[in-house]
Amino acid sequence: MKKLVALLFLGIVSQGVFAQAYPSKSLRMLVGFAPGGANDILARIVSQKLSESLGQPVVVENRPGNSGLIAADMLAKAPADGYTLMLGSTGTQTIAPHLTTKLGYDGLTAFAPVALVGSAPSALVVRNELPARSVAELIALAKAQPGRLTYASSGAGTTLHLGGEQFRILAGIQLLHVPYKGNAPALNDLLGGQVDMMISALPPLLPLARAGKLRILGVAAAERHRSAPEIPTVAEQGLPGYESDTWYGVLATGGTPATIVERLSAEIRKGLGGEKVREAILAHPRRFARGWAAKKCARRFWRRARIRGRRRRRSSARCSMPNMRAGAS
Question: What pLDDT score was predicted for residue 19?
Answer: 52
Chosen domain end from 220, 244, 268: 244
Is the same domain home to 93 and 162? no
Count of structural domains within the chain: 2
Is the same domain home to 75 and 162? no
In a domain, 151, yes or no: yes
CA distance 208 to 93: 29
| Alpha-carbon 41 to chain mean position | 11
Q: Which amino acid belongs to residue 306?
A: R
Question: What pLDDT score was predicted for residue 101?
Answer: 77
Note if the bond before 23 is cis, omega within 30 degrees: yes
CATH code at position 234: 3.40.190.10
Name residue 150's beta-bridge partners.
176
In a domain, 327, yes or no: no
Chosen domain end from 192, 221, 244: 244
In a domain, 286, yes or no: yes
- Sort strands 58-62 and 27-31 into parallel, antiparallel or unpaired: parallel
CATH code at position 70: 3.40.190.150
With contact defined as beta carbons under 8 Å apart, do 253 and 78 qualify?
yes
Is the same domain home to 94 and 11? yes
- Sort strands 197-201 and 245-253 into parallel, antiparallel or unpaired: unpaired
In a domain, 136, yes or no: yes
Torsion of CA 139, 220, 203, 229, to 10 degrees: 100
Per-residue pLDDT of the chain (329 residues; tens, 9 = 90+): 555 544 555 455 445 444 568 999 999 999 999 898 888 989 999 999 999 999 999 999 999 988 889 999 999 999 999 999 999 998 888 887 777 778 889 888 999 999 998 888 899 999 999 999 999 999 999 999 999 999 999 888 888 999 999 999 999 999 999 999 888 899 999 999 999 999 998 877 899 999 999 999 999 999 999 889 999 999 999 999 999 988 899 999 999 999 999 999 999 988 887 666 666 665 554 444 444 455 555 555 545 544 444 444 443 333 322 332 333 32
Is the same domain home to 279 and 204? no
| Alpha-carbon 207 to chain mean position | 20
In a domain, 323, yes or no: no
- The whole-model pTM stands at 0.72
Is the same domain home to 126 and 233? yes
Is the same domain home to 125 and 239? yes
Q: Phi, psi (5° rounding) for residue 98? A: -90, -5
3-state secondary structure of 175: coil
Q: Classify residue 146 by its DSSP letter.
A: T
